[in-house]
Structure 1
C-alpha cells in the first residue's frame, strides 16, 4: 500500500479524482476560504510552443504565491507590534495610576525611579536634574542625579525624547547601574518655568530594547504626568 503522501486519490478515503473534481466544482470558493492553499498547490504548466517560449502563467502564479507569503508575514508582524503597543500602553497607564497613590514627595520619587522598573520592564530608571551639585545636595537621593547645566540639551538636542540602542551609558546618569545598560530612552521633564532642566532616563540591559526609530509618544506622556506631579508636590508655578 502506498503511503499518505504518494497514494493515488482513489486510495485516500475511498475518493476518486472525479469525486474531488465534482466537489471542487460545488465549492469554487475553496481558495478564498483557505488562501494558504495557494502556497502548496502546483499551478498548471501552459503548453509550450518551443524551447524559447516562457511559461508566463506559471511564473505569475508563483509570484503571487510569494506575494501571499510576504503579505502574511507582514500581517503577523503588524499584529505582534499592535499587541506590544497595547501592552506598553497598559503599563504606562498603570505607572500613572501608581503616582496618584504616592503619600509624599519622596514616596513619589521612589515610585518613579524604583517601582517603575518592573512595571515598565527596564533595569534602571534615573531622574536627572541640571544644577550645581553642591547647592542641590538636598535633592540627591536614590535614583536622582545632578547634571552640569546644558547636559540635557547636549543629549537631546531640540527633541523632547530620544531612544538609543547599543549605547555606552554614563555613570553620571545611571550611577553604578551604568555598566548594565545597553540601550536607553531619555525624555525631558518639565517642572515649570522657574525650575531647572530635568529628564527621565530609562536603561535596559537589552541592546535593542530601545531603538532610534521607535516612537516616544507614550514616554512623553509619562514624563508629562511626572513633571506635573512634581510641580504639585513642590508647589512650583505652572507654565
Structure 2
C-alpha cells in the first residue's frame, strides 16, 4: 500500500474534468515542478525543468515588452487624435481676433495646457504696443524668439523645444506665460517660419504638469502641428 496521502476525490474529479486548467495556471505548474524536483532528490538535475524556467523568464520579458508596445501605440494614437482636433479648431475662425480667442480657449483646452502665447517679432516702432494683446499675442523685437529658447547660449533653435520654463534676458519675467507664470512647470516652444517677408515667430505652450512636455519625448506630432499652425498664421499676416 502506498504511503503517499490520497488525493481528495472531489479535487481528483475536478482535475480529471479540466486538466487544461492546471496547465494554464503558472503558479500551479511551478508548484508541481517544485514537488517533482523534491521527489527526485538533491543529487539529480532536471535539465528539462531548468530549460522550462528559462523559457518562462524569456516569455515574461516578451509579454512585458508586448504590453509596453501596446501602451505606447495607444498613447501615440491618442496624441495624434488630440493634435488633429486642435488643427481642426485652428481652421474654424473667420477673422484674426477670433483666431486668437480660439487659440487661447479651445485649442488650449484640447492640448491640455494652461497658457498659450503667440510671439511675433517685428521691427522697432515707437508706436507699437509692447504689451500682450488679447491675452495671447505678444509683439517683440527681432531675435527675441531665438534668445528665449537659447537662454543666452546662442545657436539656432530647433523647431520644437520641450523643457522646464526658463528665463531669458530677451524678455522680462512673466512676459511669456503672463499671470500663470508661477504655475507653469513645463513648456513647448514652437518656432514659426512665417515666410521670407516676415520675421520668425514663436508659439509657447505652458503646462502646470511637469511631465506634459519633457526633453526625452518625441516631437513629431508637435512638429506637424507647428507646420500647420505657421501656414494658417501666414494667411492672417498676408
Structure 1 match to 2:153: none
**Structure 2 counterpart of 1:204, from 194, 202, 207:** 207
Measured after TM superposition, the shift of residue 191 of structure 1 is: 1.3
**Structure 2 counterpart of 1:41, from 9, 29, 32:** 29
Structure 1 match to 2:190: 187
Provide Cα deviations, 1:127-166, integer angstroms capped at 9, x if missing partner.
11234485542894111223443243241634111111x4
In the TM superposition, what are the counterparts of 1:115-126 in structure 2 within 5 Å? 115-126=106-117
Structure 2 match to 1:14: 13
The verdict on how the C-alpha distance between 1:138 and 1:182 changes in structure 2, with shifts beyond 3 A counting, is: closer
In the TM superposition, what are the counterparts of 1:117-156 in structure 2 within 5 Å? 117-131=108-122, 132=124, 134=126, 136-137=128-129, 140-141=132-133, 142-154=135-147, 155=149
**Structure 2 counterpart of 1:110, from 74, 84, 101:** 101
- State the alpha-carbon separation in 1 of the partners of residues 96 and 226 from structure 2: 16
Q: In the alignment, is the contact (CA less than 8 A) between 1:113 and 1:124 conserved in 2?
A: yes
The verdict on how the C-alpha distance between 1:161 and 1:39 changes in structure 2, with shifts beyond 3 A counting, is: farther
TM-score (norm 2): 0.74
Structure 2 match to 1:218: 221
- State the alpha-carbon separation in 1 of the partners of residues 100 and 131 from structure 2: 10
Residue 81 of structure 2 is aligned to residue 90 of structure 1: yes
CA RMSD of aligned residues (A): 3.1
In the TM superposition, what are the counterparts of 1:12-91 in structure 2 within 5 Å? 12=11, 14-15=13-14, 19=16, 37-38=25-26, 41-42=29-30, 43=33, 45=37, 50=43, 57-91=48-82
> Where does the alignment leave 5 or more consecutive residues of structure 2 unmatched?
1-5, 151-155, 168-172
- State the alpha-carbon separation in 1 of the partners of residues 28 and 215 from structure 2: 39
The verdict on how the C-alpha distance between 1:216 and 1:193 changes in structure 2, with shifts beyond 3 A counting, is: same
Structure 2 match to 1:161: 160
- State the alpha-carbon separation in 2 of the partners of residues 65 and 136 from structure 1: 70
SS at match of 2:191: strand
The higher relative CO (CA closer than 8 Å, separation ≥ 6) is in 2
Structure 2 match to 1:4: none
Measured after TM superposition, the shift of residue 101 of structure 1 is: 1.6
TM-score (norm 1): 0.74
> Where does the alignment leave 5 or more consecutive residues of structure 1 unmatched?
1-6
Measured after TM superposition, the shift of residue 179 of structure 1 is: 1.0
Q: Paired residues, what number? A: 214
Measured after TM superposition, the shift of residue 13 of structure 1 is: 7.2
